[in-house]
Amino acid sequence: MQAGHIRFVTSDHSPCTPDLKETDAMNAWGGISGLQNDVDVLFDEAVQKRGMSYKHFAQIIASNPADLYNLDQKGRISIGKDADFVLIQPQSPYTLKAEDLEYRNKISPYIGREIGAQVYQTILRGQTIYSKETGVAAEFPGEFIKK
C-alpha cells in the first residue's frame, strides 16, 4: 500500500455460521466476517504501526474506491458531496470480544486481538449512524446507488 501498488482495501464480509469453519482450510467456508473492524485494524496497522500518512489512508478507504466506481458524491469531504465520513480515535487500544460484534454469527479472526485504534463515529449523509457511546443507529439514510 505504501508504494501505491494497492489502490484500496475493502471487505467482502463473507459471514457464515461457526460450524462452516470447523473443517480444514480447503473445505471451510471462504471469507471472513470482518467489516466491523476493517477501518480500525487498517488504521492501526498502516498509519500507526507503519507510518502511512492520513491523506494516503483517506485515499485507500474513500477517494480511490469512489473514483474507481464513479461515485461522484462519495469519497471526499467537499461542498456539494454527501457528508460521509468516519472519525477515528488513534492510540486507543482495545481487545475485541465476541460480544462486541454486531454480526449475527459472533466469529471473527480479530477476536482476542488488541487493536490500537477505534472508530469513534460514523456519519452518513450528515447523520450519525454509529458512535462509540451509543452504538449503531436503529435507522440510517442508506441509499442504493444505481450505476
We report the CATH number of the domain holding residue 93 as 2.30.40
| Within-domain flag for 11 | no
d(CA 42, CA 26): 27
Average pLDDT, the chain: 89
What digits encode the pLDDT tens for the residues 38-65?
999 999 999 999 999 999 999 999 999 9
Residue 45's domain comprises 18-136
CA 103 to the chain's CA centroid: 14
Which pLDDT does position 97 carry in this prediction? Answer: 96
The model's pTM? 0.86
Total domains in the chain come to 1
C-alpha cell at 123: 456519519
Which pLDDT does position 133 carry in this prediction? Answer: 93
Which pLDDT does position 43 carry in this prediction? Answer: 98
d(CA 117, CA 130): 16
| Within-domain flag for 147 | no
